[in-house]
Chains A and B, each alone.
Chain A
């Protein structure tokens, strides 16, 4: 009950955040422009150019989900990094945690509030995307929903990492740490351009420290959404399981770090 009260209040606060609103408008613009691609794909199909239509449709839906994913991650990163420091800076944390509320309940409430916003956003995206598909006459693709579940999960992991580092240090460091974690998957690929041996070593280290981290890699996700048939159900299951693992680990670490953290703004 208390966790829900904090979550609902956090959600309302995020809905009133002007920076997030501006970001949403930007996304809306991109969303509308990719809708054009889907519509033309449907018209091409009607004209008998089935192969071109399939390609254009795949590109358009890929671009839509790509934008949606990037936006979700940005949203999750900023919310995860700034929600708690924002409460500390504004002083709203003091009367809230001056209540019969444990720190864990409070932090979980904040995280749940972020999730509520992400869920609202992705629900809107799902409804809008489904509407676009129906409108353009191609029918709703079921893998879209799966793709969105994947996005929710990755966005949650992103928010949890940002959350942990914002509890430990500050939002700026949280964003840098997040960039580091997210670039780990692509690190080996970049090094491979220079040295195959070093790339394998880095890959081994990354795999040892963060097992199956690559399953949450953003580029892999794109492949999934563009060619869903190429991925097995097992791939999704393992990816989801690892995603949940990482989410739980980062969140638990954040809860632990928050137990003894000062609630006063840094002087």
Chain B
């Protein structure tokens, strides 16, 4: 499959002064990464790891010190490449004097979308992100969540092939987050490529095909989400009506048990799962769900970050 996005040994440092001496901060250090056409790639990393720098480089907002990258067949920052990208920055600024409709028309025109198409797409997109009723309102009166929804609409205005999203659920309430997840899954089904930078591991797990962890400007690990989940040695059961004796027995075998609203969440080894469920059923209890333990991606992330040796001169 062709690469939609590629970083080749890309390095970027920012000038910084410390004790009257110029000591550049290395934000990216030889980042190499490939995102295939049609996949959803989760880009993970702690604060200051270099995620946003990578995104800004690929959009051409800043320039690399070394290395190069391509979006489809175009170099980073080439307007022809950007025509195929929908970009959502983390801190999105809006023109407060425009209405949502006017903003989408403006961005649509900059992306060469014909007027007849915008007449259909603008109201459709605003309905889709739940802003249909507020489309004539000036953005100065929008809440943060509404602006974030509008941010998603502006990403899709020209029906891009590649979506570059920096923390798309930031500032959204649970309903908004669900909307984003649904939208991402729809886009995935439509064959779009998504490069998703997020702190929220649960989101990444739900929508991504592959994840990469960046730390101290370097890509530490890349893995398939499916393989990670299948390789999980721990399972998470949600049960109702488990007897105290069963819970005690599981605790003694090393399981973690959490109580929540008369339900129990039990995290245990995969080979303990079957006997535990059988005993639960024998005692008249009910199994509500059994999923790979969510900590899988978390472990993957933490291992990648904690295994990284400190870099002299790297970001602190």
Q: Give the interface of A toward B (CB within 8 A).
A: 1-2, 5-6, 9, 12-13, 16, 90-102, 260, 262-264, 267
- Whether B97 is near chain A, meaning CB under 8 Å from some CB there, is yes
**B95 and A91 contacting across the interface, CB-CB below 8 Å:** no
A189 to B111, CA, bound (A): 53
**With contacts A5-B109, A99-B107, A101-B79 known, is A12 near B89, CB below 8 A?**
no
- Known pairs A93-B93, A94-B93. 13 more at Cβ < 8 A? A13-B97, A16-B96, A91-B93, A94-B92, A95-B92, A95-B107, A98-B85, A100-B80, A100-B82, A100-B110, A102-B79, A263-B56, A263-B61
Which chain B residues lie closer than 8 Å to A92 at the CB level?
93-95
- Whether B59 is near chain A, meaning CB under 8 Å from some CB there, is yes
- Whether B259 is near chain A, meaning CB under 8 Å from some CB there, is no
- Whether B106 is near chain A, meaning CB under 8 Å from some CB there, is yes
**B93 and A100 contacting across the interface, CB-CB below 8 Å:** no
A261 to B44, CA, bound (A): 28
Q: How many A-B pairs with Cβ below 8 Å?
A: 80
**With contacts A5-B110, A91-B93, A92-B93 known, is A99 near B82, CB below 8 A?**
yes
Contact residues of B between 237 and 261, Cβ < 8 Å to A: none
Which chain B residues lie closer than 8 Å to A6 at the CB level?
110
Least CB separation from A98: chain B residue: B87
Please count how many residues in chain B sit with their CB below 8 Å of the partner chain's CB atoms.
31
- Whether B142 is near chain A, meaning CB under 8 Å from some CB there, is no
Which chain B residues lie closer than 8 Å to A16 at the CB level?
96-97
A199 to B60, CA, bound (A): 48
B106 partner, pick from A1, A9, A91, beta carbons under 8 A? A9
- Whether B187 is near chain A, meaning CB under 8 Å from some CB there, is no
7 nearest A-B residue pairs (beta carbon): A91-B93, A100-B83, A98-B87, A99-B110, A92-B93, A16-B97, A263-B61
A-B CB contact pairs (8 Å), 5 listed: A95-B92, A98-B89, A99-B83, A99-B110, A100-B83
Q: Return the CB mask of B47-79 against A: 1 if under 8 Å, else 0.
A: 000000000100111110000000000000001
- Whether B98 is near chain A, meaning CB under 8 Å from some CB there, is yes
A6 to B97, CA, bound (A): 14
Which chain B residues lie closer than 8 Å to A12 at the CB level?
95, 97-98
A263 to B14, CA, bound (A): 13
A34 to B106, CA, bound (A): 41
**B89 and A262 contacting across the interface, CB-CB below 8 Å:** no
- Whether B289 is near chain A, meaning CB under 8 Å from some CB there, is no
What distance in Å separates the Cβ of B77 from its nearest Cβ neighbour in chain A?
9
**B61 and A264 contacting across the interface, CB-CB below 8 Å:** yes
Which chain B residues lie closer than 8 Å to A102 at the CB level?
79
**A101 and B97 contacting across the interface, CB-CB below 8 Å:** no
Which chain B residues lie closer than 8 Å to A95 at the CB level?
87, 89, 92-93, 107, 151, 154
A90 to B89, CA, bound (A): 12
**B93 and A90 contacting across the interface, CB-CB below 8 Å:** yes
What distance in Å separates the Cβ of A127 from its nearest Cβ neighbour in chain B?
25
A13 to B80, CA, bound (A): 27
- Whether B299 is near chain A, meaning CB under 8 Å from some CB there, is no
Least CB separation from A88: chain B residue: B93
Of A5, A13, A100, which is in contact with the most chain B CB atoms at under 10 Å from its CB?
A100
Least CB separation from B89: chain A residue: A94
Which chain B residues lie closer than 8 Å to A100 at the CB level?
79-80, 82-83, 110-112
A5 to B79, CA, bound (A): 16
- Whether B91 is near chain A, meaning CB under 8 Å from some CB there, is yes
A98 to B87, CA, bound (A): 6
Which chain B residues lie closer than 8 Å to A90 at the CB level?
93
**A262 and B61 contacting across the interface, CB-CB below 8 Å:** yes
A114 to B106, CA, bound (A): 18
A260 to B65, CA, bound (A): 12
